[in-house]
Amino acid sequence: MLPPSATTSPSYSSKKPPRSTQVVLEALGAVPHASVQELHDWLRANRPKRSAGLTTIYRTLHYLVQQHQVQRVYLQDGQARYDLLTKTEHPHHHHHLVCTRCQHVEVLHDCPLETLESLIESAQTKFKLHYHNLELFGLCESCQAG
């Protein structure tokens, strides 16, 4: 599940897709787990005639998060990163394995928390979950070898 801040914001709630949607989606396809600055840099270097300013990229990403096309995640460095979501990911998210040494990120496509969610929302607890997020931190294969 996504946190409420990933799907609602008073600053940009237009239902009309921004014109920059296609270029931002293209950049996200080229730069996985990208920050806004990394997307901006990629667009300036690779699509100078179609590049977008930082504010436009933020607004476009917000729209794409609302549309469940992109997932916003916060990794160890505390900076927001963005991922493209595939149509097969349900419920519109995936989780991450993050290397604490090199910051490499691997996607964990299966959600190991779905069973736990069912237990928590059982009649015993009467607790209604809104969202969950899972990032696991450790050393990637390359850093373990080095």
d(CA 76, CA 106): 13
- Asked if 69 and 3 count as a contact pair (C-beta separation under 8 A), the reply is no
**Correct CATH for 4-145 of 1.10.10.10, 3.40.50.11890, 3.40.50.300, 3.40.640.10:** 1.10.10.10
- Give the neighbor-by-neighbor strand order of the sheet with 105-108: 105-108, 95-99, 135-138
Question: Which pLDDT belongs to residue 12?
Answer: 46
The model scores a pTM over 0.75: no
CA atoms within 13 A on the CB side of 141: 1
The tens-digit pLDDT sequence of the chain (146 residues) is 444 444 444 344 455 667 789 999 999 999 988 999 999 999 999 998 888 899 999 999 999 988 888 888 877 778 888 988 866 544 456 788 888 888 888 888 777 787 888 888 877 787 888 777 788 889 999 999 97
- Chain centroid, CA 96 distance in Å: 10
